[in-house]
Amino acid sequence: MPETPRRSASNLPPLSLHIPEPRYRPGDTPDFGDIEVPAIDATPRPGEASKPDAMRELCYGLVRVLNFDGQAKGPWDPKLAPELLRSMLRMMLLVRAFDDRMFRAQRQGKTSFYMKCTGEEATSVASTMALDRADMVFPSYRQQGILITREYPLIQMMNQIYSNRGDHLLGRQLPIMYSAPEHGFFSVSGNLATQYPQAVGWAMASASKGDSRIATVWCGEGSSAEGDFHSALTFAAVYNAPVIFNVVNNQWAISSFSGFAGGERTTFAARAVGYGIAGLRVDGNDPLAVYAATQWAADRARTNNGPTLIEHFTYRAEGHSTSDDPSAYRAAQEYAAWPFGDPVLRLKEHLVKLGEWDDARHEALQKELDDLVKTTQKQSEKLGVLGHGMHQPFETMFEDVFEEMPWHLKEQCAQMLAEQEAKFGPDWKPE
């Protein structure tokens, strides 16, 4: 057999495989001075019905409203009333207070797990405020700000985190995997990005029924590498589904930096271009920009102009979860060096600049919210914490696998109840 001549290339260097590497590792001094921060009026605000083609540059720019002096400027300024801004600040502070308490509760052994969203509060709080209360949200695990903004009872969140007898998910779910249908909050799944096509399906259903509600969905930049992301954007484009895709680009997926999700070569908003849908890249630490972008995308979806992908450019200020130690893979000072600052402080500064807020009121509000969280925590802990007794009747383990329990589950349930009696005696009751 004649040998196929190879186009090779004795005179070329060998191929090399590129493995992305973050810029800073533990011990390094981070400097993000070269991150491009486009001027506030460099990013135009096209009409909500614009063709996706007209949105291209927005996928590479950055929607900004608040400059670093706390002033709202430019075409995207949503011009919100001070009352609304104060309420946004309150929600973001409440999220932060809640996170701090629950993180501590995990460290105290009251629950198995927690995940904070520090530094990303705007991406859930501000976007939720720009939605209609009846719109359906499909969150990932780092959007507790949605529930808090929609005034889901804090005690129910805590009960879920503690898997206690007040937990309406009956202790079945890992902490923070909330579910709140009355608050338009879809059940959180541990499997990443699965909510993406589901949100599209919900939006398609709403459209096919002639409803006026839209769907919104969140994932992190790391999860955008999942196949479900591609499935969702394809279906949304094909059926012009009224859905808003949020990618919270917080730079880190546990220990792997955004380069492993494809972030070295392009922006995550630019994924929209290939699907023919509108894309916006937003300063995720600028609550007004997040609000404005969501409002734009919601109006677009509501007027049958189709889906939008919003990349929230932000930074995951803390560890991935209570099981994670970020000092093992990234420079300790990264968040301090992050050029977009802290979303809570930026909104606070804005309100102060407007003459609608001051340090004393801020401190008082913080104290009020800390107290609220603390009081609620005490109430929740009266219903039990994880590891201190078992709080659900054992048979609930077998319920809701199906609408009706089939024979094999009934048999297994009987077996388990016999084990329970052998271990704890006939009078055992949930604590």
Partner 1 sequence: MNMIEAINSAMDVMLARDSNVVVMGEDVGYFGGVFRATAGLQKKHGKTRVFDTPINECGIIGVAVGMGAYGLRPVPEIQFADYIYPGLDQLVSEAARIRYRSANDFVCPMTVRTPFGGGIFGGQTHSQSPESIMTHICGVKTVIPSNPYDAKGLLIAAIEDNDPVVFLEPKRIYNGPFSGYYDRPVEPWSKHAASAVPEDYYRIELGKAATVREGEAVTVLAYGTMVHVAKTVIDELNIDAEIIDLRTLLPLDIEAIEASVKKTGRCLIIHEATRTSGFGAELAALVQERCFYHLEASVERVTGFDTPYPHSLEWAYFPGPVRIATALTKILKD
**Displacement of CA 70 from its chain's centroid (Å):** 25
Q: Are 263 and 221 in contact (CB under 8 A)?
A: yes
Q: How far is the CB of 39 from partner 1 (least distance, A)?
A: 39
Q: How far is the CB of 158 from partner 1 (least distance, A)?
A: 17
**Given 98, 103, 162, 186, the residue binding partner 1 (CB under 8 A):** 186
Q: How far is the CB of 398 from partner 1 (least distance, A)?
A: 10
According to the binding rule CB under 8 A, does residue 225 interact with partner 1?
no
265 burial level (CB within 10 Å; 0-12, 13-18, 19+): exposed
**Given 62, 232, 297, 385, the residue binding partner 1 (CB under 8 A):** 232
Q: Under rule CB under 8 A, which residues in 403-422 are in contact with partner 1? A: 403, 406-408
**Given 52, 145, 201, 326, the residue binding partner 1 (CB under 8 A):** 201
Q: How far is the CB of 203 from partner 1 (least distance, A)?
A: 8
According to the binding rule CB under 8 A, does residue 204 interact with partner 1?
yes
Q: Name which of 140 and 267 has its Cβ closer to partner 1.
A: 140
Q: Name which of 205 and 254 has its Cβ closer to partner 1.
A: 205
Output phi, psi for 138, to 5 deg: -115, 90
According to the binding rule CB under 8 A, does residue 205 interact with partner 1?
yes
Q: Are 333 and 123 in contact (CB under 8 A)?
A: no
According to the binding rule CB under 8 A, does residue 194 interact with partner 1?
yes
Q: Under rule CB under 8 A, which residues in 150-179 are in contact with partner 1? A: 168-170, 172-173, 177, 179
According to the binding rule CB under 8 A, does residue 25 interact with partner 1?
no
Q: Report how far residue 413's alpha carbon sits from residue 399's, in angstroms, rounded to the nearest whole number.
A: 9
Q: Which residues pair with 281 in a beta bridge?
A: 311
CA atoms within 13 A on the CB side of 279: 24
Q: Are 385 and 162 in contact (CB under 8 A)?
A: yes
Which pair of tokens denotes residue 155? 């005690």
Q: Report how far residue 253's alpha carbon sits from residue 154's, in angstroms, rounded to the nearest whole number.
A: 27
Burial 384-415 (b: 16+ CB within 10 A, else e): bbbeeebbbebeebbeeeeeebeeebeeebee
Query: x/- binding map, residues 81-120, to partner 1, per CB under 8 A?
Result: ----------------------------------------
**Given 175, 197, 306, 343, the residue binding partner 1 (CB under 8 A):** 197
According to the binding rule CB under 8 A, does residue 200 interact with partner 1?
yes
Q: Name which of 338 and 398 has its Cβ closer to partner 1.
A: 398
Residues 6+ positions from 338 with CB-CB distance below 8 Å? 32, 119, 285, 315
Q: Report how far residue 218's alpha carbon sits from residue 309's, in angstroms, rounded to the nearest whole number.
A: 10
According to the binding rule CB under 8 A, does residue 251 interact with partner 1?
no
* 261 secondary structure, DSSP code: G
Residues 6+ positions from 343 with CB-CB distance below 8 Å? 92, 119, 120, 121, 122, 284, 285, 286, 287, 314
According to the binding rule CB under 8 A, does residue 191 interact with partner 1?
yes
Sole window of 139-147, 186-194, 289-297, 377-385 interacting with partner 1 (rule: CB under 8 A): 186-194
Residues that contact partner 1, how many (by CB under 8 A): 46
According to the binding rule CB under 8 A, does residue 400 interact with partner 1?
yes
According to the binding rule CB under 8 A, does residue 135 interact with partner 1?
no
Angle at 82 between CA 77 and CA 87, to 5 degrees: 105
Q: Report how far residue 233's alpha carbon sits from residue 223's, in angstroms, rounded to the nearest whole number.
A: 13
According to the binding rule CB under 8 A, does residue 196 interact with partner 1?
yes
Number of neighbours of residue 100 by Cβ within 10 angstroms: 14
Sole window of 78-86, 202-210, 295-303, 417-425 interacting with partner 1 (rule: CB under 8 A): 202-210
According to the binding rule CB under 8 A, does residue 429 interact with partner 1?
no
According to the binding rule CB under 8 A, does residue 54 interact with partner 1?
no
Which residues would be at the binding site for partner 1 (CB under 8 A)? 136, 138, 168-170, 172-173, 177, 179-181, 186-187, 189-191, 194, 196-206, 208-209, 215, 227-228, 230-232, 234-235, 238, 400-403, 406-408
